[in-house]
């Protein structure tokens, strides 16, 4: 009985550290902010293997876009913000 509880705890600890991509879910960047890259496009740098996400920066109530957001990732689940490539 004690062994099964130990294995359950080990399994749960491993799952809590796993990273998942959840379609339709809210993605957060490494600073804890929501990823803001509407109609985004992901490309990969073939030399480094790093993924880059570019998308329109939008805020509520804004009639036009606020620029192009830039994010990078090594695993497609963890995104680091690099600010705006094109700001208005």
* CB contact set of 62 (below 8 Å; sequence gap of 6+): none
pTM of the complete model beyond 0.75: no
pLDDT score recorded for residue 54: 96
Overall domain count for the chain: 1
**Cα Rg for the chain, rounded, in angstroms?**
18
Q: Does 18 map to a domain?
A: no
pLDDT tens-place values along the chain, 88 residues long: 566 665 565 554 444 445 777 788 888 999 999 999 989 999 999 999 999 999 999 888 877 768 899 999 999 989 999 999 976 6
pLDDT score recorded for residue 16: 46
Q: Does 54 map to a domain?
A: yes
Around Cβ 79, how many Cβ atoms within 10 Å?
23
* CB contact set of 68 (below 8 Å; sequence gap of 6+): 54, 55, 56, 57, 84, 85, 86
Q: Does 65 map to a domain?
A: yes
Domain range holding 29?
23-87
């Amino acid at each position: 009985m004690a062994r099964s509880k130990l294995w359950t705890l080990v399994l749960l600890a491993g799952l809590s550290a796993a990273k998942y991509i959840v379609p339709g879910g809210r993605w957060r960047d490494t600073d804890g902010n929501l990823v803001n890259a509407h109609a985004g496009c992901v490309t990969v740098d073939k030399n480094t293997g790093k993924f880059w996400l570019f998308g329109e920066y939008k805020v509520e109530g804004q009639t036009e876009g606020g620029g192009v957001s830039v994010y990078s990732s090594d695993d497609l689940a963890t995104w680091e913000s690099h600010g705006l490539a094109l700001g208005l």
